[in-house]
Amino acid sequence: KRCHILSDRGEFVRNIPTGRGKFTWPDGSTYSGGIVDGVRHGFGTHTCAKTGVSYTGEWSQGKRHGEGTVYYNESKTSWYKGDWVMNNREGRGERCYVTGNTYSGEWKCNVRHGEGTMKWLKLGQQYVGNWCEGLQKREGGLQYFQNNQYHGDFLHGQRHGHGVFYYAGGAIYEGEWKNNKKHGQVYKNYFFDSNFDIFLYVCGTFSVQEFILRE
């Protein structure tokens, strides 16, 4: 895009802006900060007039690179603070969504990837563990459902494989899962019978969660 330099604080080398200055685009978007060879470089702030998206942090060759913070709306309820690599969220950072959900951990190519924690505010859920291309990774994650807890395998973001579910009431299920449901071999299944004030143990197999415990 064509832009106009409104500030005379910057330096020119061979008629090219270098140093610190301010760019203003015809649509009202602005950048204020470091400039090298006419592009954003160093520390600066860019604000888009149309969307209200703003970024403050480090730049390299005109792209977000290094540490920085972006606000995705004017009310600043949606944001990311952390590492960037050539305009992509990559490294470690924290993301807050408009819904109030948050993720803190590792990123790669703009998606959750590596070790991190995701909290779903309204659902009262939390996942702690590994991520792969934006989804919970298969091995050994921890997922919390209010006062319930699941520790085990995931596939495509769902409980799938071997896992243990601890219920708030004290019941425990350990066995196989498929597409978020109990399915297959049961290794341990303790549940509380309030009529007798005792814990009962069940073992065997499940077919798509035919034995239901409240989650």
Whole-angstrom Cα distance, residue 96 to residue 103? 7
Would you write out the chain's pLDDT as a tens digit for each of its 215 residues? 444 444 444 555 555 777 888 889 999 999 999 999 889 999 999 999 999 999 999 999 999 999 999 999 999 999 999 999 999 999 999 999 999 999 999 999 999 999 999 998 888 888 888 898 998 876 656 677 667 888 888 887 788 888 888 887 778 888 888 887 887 766 555 544 444 333 344 444 544 443 333 33
Q: Could you tell me the end-to-end alpha-carbon distance of the chain, in angstroms, rounded to an integer?
A: 54
166, 156 contact by CB (below 8 A): no
C-beta atoms surrounding 68 within 10 Å: 22
Dihedral (C-alpha) 144, 145, 148, 152: value to the nearest 10 degrees? -50
Residue 86 identity: M
Domain extent listing, the chain: 1-76
Residue 46 identity: H
Whole-angstrom Cα distance, residue 198 to residue 215? 20
Residue carrying the six token digits 């900060």: 33
Q: Which structure tokens are listed for 104? A: 């803190």
